[in-house]
Amino acid sequence: MTGAEPIADEEVDRIRAQIERDAQAGGYHLHPDPSFTAGLVRGLIENERRYGYRSCPCRLATGTKEADLDIICPCDYRDADLVEYGACYCALYVSADVKAGRATVGSIPERRPRRAERERRAAMAPAGSLPGGPLPFPVWRCTVCGYLCARAEPPLQCPICRVGQERFVRFI
């Protein structure tokens, strides 16, 4: 498609196994249909080759990492979609019920705000203090899983969902 070397099935299997291992460790599940999952993993690899990061296969990336941070898999919207619909937007991740065949999933609405709204939210400054007074440390929030920590800088990797430091935002 892009004229680059085609993505080998072995590579798709290897990355899929890696993603599945991380998913299970965090209590997440991948879509039970192996061919559907393989197609999405192939899309992630394609996007990694194209943009340099694993942007959501079902969303249009800009190619600028900063602008696409929220849709790098796992995206900022996965957990809310799992709770509400039993699957994330592309359906790579599904709920335990869907995994076990007790529920089905389909195409779901896009939760990601439009660009103007994303920019407005990003510009909102953290309070820097609580009603009780200023804090000795800033509080950082993982935009993927919501993990909070109070320290000078966010961790290099989220200890809960394993995404990188760049996915943290100043919360307080």
Partner 1 sequence: MQFEHVHGTDRGVVRLYALSTCGWCAKTRQLLTDLGVAFDYVYVDLVGPGEQKEVIEAVEQVNPSLSFPTVVIGDRVIVGFREKEIREALA
Per CB under 8 A, residues contacting partner 1 are 1-2, 36, 39-40, 42-44, 46-47, 50, 57-61, 90-91, 106-110, 114
**Helix, strand, coil in percent for the chain, rounding step 5:** 40, 15, 50
Q: By C-alpha distance, which of 122, 147, 126, 156 is closest to 138?
A: 126
| Cβ–Cβ < 8 Å for 82, 93 | yes
For residue 65, report the phi and psi dihedrals to the nearest 5 degrees: -55, -45
Please, which residue, 57 or 154, has the CB nearer to partner 1? 57
Please, which residue, 38 or 160, has the CB nearer to partner 1? 38
Least distance (Å) between residue 164 CB and partner 1: 21
Q: How far apart are CA 59 and CA 62, in angstroms?
A: 10
Least distance (Å) between residue 68 CB and partner 1: 12
Please, which residue, 90 or 149, has the CB nearer to partner 1? 90
Least distance (Å) between residue 40 CB and partner 1: 5
Least distance (Å) between residue 77 CB and partner 1: 12
For residue 75, report the phi and psi dihedrals to the nearest 5 degrees: -80, 170
Least distance (Å) between residue 115 CB and partner 1: 8
Q: How far apart are CA 162 and CA 133, in angstroms?
A: 32
Give the contacts of 26 (CB within 8 A, at least 6 positions apart): 145, 160, 161, 162
Please, which residue, 20 or 46, has the CB nearer to partner 1? 46
Please, which residue, 114 or 125, has the CB nearer to partner 1? 114
